[in-house]
């Protein structure tokens, strides 16, 4: 059985968990307390030299890091990742957008706000980062005003990747009020077959 090494409350860990639930792939969860440095121990670094969670152990000793690489691996050959070359490229476009333009702002501010409780120490950085998070939401809004899911009519791992931190963006003080299409899309994702909330599949 696949082993998922993760931290409760991490949107990045929620991504492979949700994909596996919706694809009917059983897995076991192993908690890694990143606040206690458990992702930087020699034992963990031997599994993932980059010292980050989530980490997917697809069979004993065979590890895959990077949440969005996991999504591509898990969804390969399923309806969550189209076989058509161009359609697949557009899914990956959103996956890279998520890791470069969305997660570093929206997830990081949420982490400092509700997980690490370090908002005071990061006040200046948050002021710099907040507009970039809103810029990412605006890019999503522009697309989702036109299509029910990020790449068009169909739900894919692009939606799973962006849902992970967008649905908890308010925990970092992001008001989704100005993004009606994004709010509507959150509902579309929650209505997909086999959808499971974060707290029910992580930890």
Q: Which residues bind a second copy (CB under 8 A)?
A: 49-50, 52, 58, 62, 64-70, 72-73, 76-77, 85-86, 88-90, 92-93, 95-97, 99-101, 103-104, 138-139, 142-143
Least separation in angstroms between residue 91's CB and a second copy is 8
Please state the closest distance from residue 115 (CB atom) to a second copy, in A: 18
R_g (Cα) of the chain, nearest Å: 17
- Report the residue number, 104 or 203, with the smaller CB distance to a second copy: 104
Considering only CA atoms, which of 182, 93, 103, 96 is closest in space to residue 140?
182
To a second copy, the closest distance from the beta carbon of 88 in angstroms equals 8
Q: Find the shortest distance in angstroms from Cβ 57 to a second copy.
A: 13
Cβ atoms 99, 162 nearer than 8 A: no
The C-alpha atoms of residue 128 and residue 130 are separated, in whole angstroms, by 6
What is the Cα–Cα distance from 159 to 163, expressed in whole angstroms? 6
Nearer to a second copy, 103 or 171 (CB): 103
Q: Is 84 helix (H, G, I), strand (E, B) or coil?
A: coil
């Amino acid at each position: 059985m696949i082993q998922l090494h993760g931290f409760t409350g991490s949107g990045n860990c929620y991504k492979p968990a949700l994909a596996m639930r919706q694809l009917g792939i059983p897995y076991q969860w192993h908690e890694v307390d990143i606040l206690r440095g458990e992702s930087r121990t020699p034992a963990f670094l031997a599994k993932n030299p980059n010292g980050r969670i989530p980490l997917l152990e697809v069979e004993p000793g065979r590890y895959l890091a990077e949440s969005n690489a996991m999504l591509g691996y898990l969804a390969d050959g399923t309806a969550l990742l189209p076989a058509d070359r161009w359609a697949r490229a557009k899914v990956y476009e959103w996956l890279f957008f998520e890791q470069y333009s969305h997660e570093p702002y929206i997830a990081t501010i949420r982490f400092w706000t509700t997980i690490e409780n370090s908002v005071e120490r990061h006040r200046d950085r948050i002021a710099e980062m907040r507009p970039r998070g809103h810029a990412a939401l605006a890019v999503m809004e522009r697309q989702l005003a036109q299509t029910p899911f990020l790449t068009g009519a169909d739900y894919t791992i692009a939606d799973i990747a962006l849902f992970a931190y967008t649905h908890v963006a308010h925990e970092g003080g992001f008001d989704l009020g100005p993004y009606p299409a994004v709010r509507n899309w959150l509902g579309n994702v929650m209505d997909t077959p086999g959808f499971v909330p974060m707290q029910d599949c992580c930890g």
